[in-house]
Amino acid sequence: MTLLKRYVLRLFISLKYITANVVDRNNGRIVATASTVEHSMKQSLECGRTCNAKAAAVVGEVLAMRLKVEGLDRGQGNGIHVNVNKEVEKKGFKNQTKVWAIVNGLKNNGVKLILDDNENDSSHPSYH
C-alpha cells in the first residue's frame, strides 16, 4: 500500500538551530536533511544566539540541492507535502517567518511542493 502523501517536509526550529527533513512515509526514513547544526553551514551563517529567517532560507536552499541530487525534487512526480499552518502552529507564531523562508527557499530552487492547508481536507491540496 502506498501513501498518497509519500514525501513530507518536517521542520525542527529552536532558538539556536533550524533543521528541515524530507521523510519518506512509506518506509519511515529521512531521504534528505539540512540543518544549521552542520559545520559548513554553521560557519557561513551568523546565527550567534539565535538563527534568523536568512539562515532558514539557506537551510531551504541546501535541502533543495540535496533533493535534486537524490532525484527527489519532484517527489517522484507527486511533489513534497508540507502543511505550513501545522508547522507554524507547532513552532509558534514567532517562527512563521522562518517556516516560510524554508518553504520559499525550496520553491525558488525548483522543488515541487504541495501546500496542504487543511490536513483533514486532503481532497483539495493547493499546488504551488
CB 99 within 8 A of CB 87: yes
pLDDT classification of 105: cutoffs 50, 70, 90: very high
What number of other Cβ atoms are within 10 A of residue 100's Cβ? 17
Q: What is the residue-averaged pLDDT of the chain?
A: 82
| pTM metric for this prediction | 0.82
When divided into structural domains, the chain yields a total of 1
Q: Is 122 part of a structural domain of the chain?
A: no
Please list, residue by residue across 69-84, b when 16 or more beta carbons sit within 10 angstroms of its beta carbon and e when fewer do: eeebbebeebbbbbbb
40 part of a folded domain = yes
Domain residues for the domain of 83 are 7-115
- In a domain? residue 87: yes
What CATH number is associated with residue 47?
Answer: 3.30.420.100
Residue 121 placed within a domain: no
Strands (E), the chain: 7-13, 18-24, 29-35, 80-82, 113-115, 126-127
- Tens digits of residue pLDDT in 41-79: 877 776 666 678 888 999 999 999 999 998 887 766 678
